[in-house]
Amino acid sequence: MSAQPQTYESLREAVLEEHRKLPKRIAQVATYAIDNPDEIAFGTVASIAASSGVPPSTLVRFAQHLGFDGFTSLQAVFRTRLRERTVSYDERLVALRAGPDDDGSRHILDGYVAASVQSLENLLVRADGARLSRAVDILANAETIYIIARRRSYPVASSVAYALGKLRIPYRLIDSAAGLDADVLELATPRDAALTVSFSPYAAATVDDVRLLARAKTPIIAITDSVFSPLTEFASEWFEVPEADHAGFRSLAATMALAMTLVISVGKARQG
């Protein structure tokens, strides 16, 4: 190809047009890339090659076939797609207003409840009982549980902190208005544990806090939305919870259900 695609849409069209002409290995990568664009955006050459079942050199050949000088340049297009997918709240409200006029708020309720139900059903399918048990054991044996979640994830942190307080389980909610989060996290030891929640686009402060805890060898339980989330490399156990959305507004139903399951299970374990 002579023209390098500048957007994900043009790249996708180019791949679809060229797919039948591609060598077998490159076609395999092309199929994987179109089916898993988020993983192309977040992954490394090694992880993507392993997931798509090809040698790392094939990823470079795929990128060069599309007119890029290397895989990193192609990956930038996939990352731009993710940034553009994070729709502003004004645009989300426009999407909501585009719904049926006669249904009004009922239309919104139906859509949001449907998204929440879908998220919960996906959680039931994805939930790994053994992983859940290991996470509960880590949290139940911790002297103090550190809770880290910001932005869209913060309501989960608040609910977890409230429940832990009611269960009289020692915790620290990392949300200092005085900017003392790093100082508080320096108190963490391997005898403690952390529960962290973050979704794309991942809060930089959350990732920094988790990195600090990892250096202190504090066990970390993470709830996130992708195997390529920056939280997974630091987590002792992690859960992938992609939430469905209505008109761009994502549900927190599955995340809240999982977080509260952990808390209640920890309370039960500590009583035993």
Instruction: Tell whether 188 and 233 lie within a shared domain.
Output: yes
Q: In this predicted structure, what is the pLDDT of residue 2?
A: 56
What does the chain come to in residues?
272
Q: Block means of pLDDT (10 residues each) for the chain, length 272 residues?
A: 78 84 90 84 88 92 91 90 64 62 74 88 88 96 96 94 96 83 91 94 89 96 85 92 83 95 96 80
Query: Comparing C-alpha atoms, which of 158, 183, 161 is closest to residue 170?
Result: 161
Instruction: Tell whether 120 and 62 lie within a shared domain.
Output: no
Instruction: Tell whether 266 and 149 lie within a shared domain.
Output: yes
- The answer as to whether 46 is a domain residue is yes
Q: In this predicted structure, what is the pLDDT of residue 101?
A: 56
> How large is the C-alpha radius of gyration of the chain?
21
- The answer as to whether 106 is a domain residue is no
What is the domain count for the chain?
A: 2
Q: In this predicted structure, what is the pLDDT of residue 125?
A: 84
Instruction: Tell whether 37 and 116 lie within a shared domain.
Output: no
Q: In this predicted structure, what is the pLDDT of residue 141?
A: 96
Q: In this predicted structure, what is the pLDDT of residue 91?
A: 63
CATH of the domain at 72: 1.10.10.10
Instruction: Tell whether 115 and 77 lie within a shared domain.
Output: no
pTM of this prediction? 0.68
- The answer as to whether 97 is a domain residue is no
- The answer as to whether 90 is a domain residue is no
- The answer as to whether 99 is a domain residue is no
Instruction: Tell whether 67 and 125 lie within a shared domain.
Output: no
CATH of the domain at 181: 3.40.50.10490
- The answer as to whether 54 is a domain residue is yes
Instruction: Tell whether 51 and 120 lie within a shared domain.
Output: no
- The answer as to whether 98 is a domain residue is no
Instruction: Tell whether 75 and 23 lie within a shared domain.
Output: yes
Other C-beta atoms lying within 10 Å of the C-beta of residue 104: 10
Instruction: Tell whether 51 and 185 lie within a shared domain.
Output: no
Q: Which domain holds residue 49?
A: 8-85
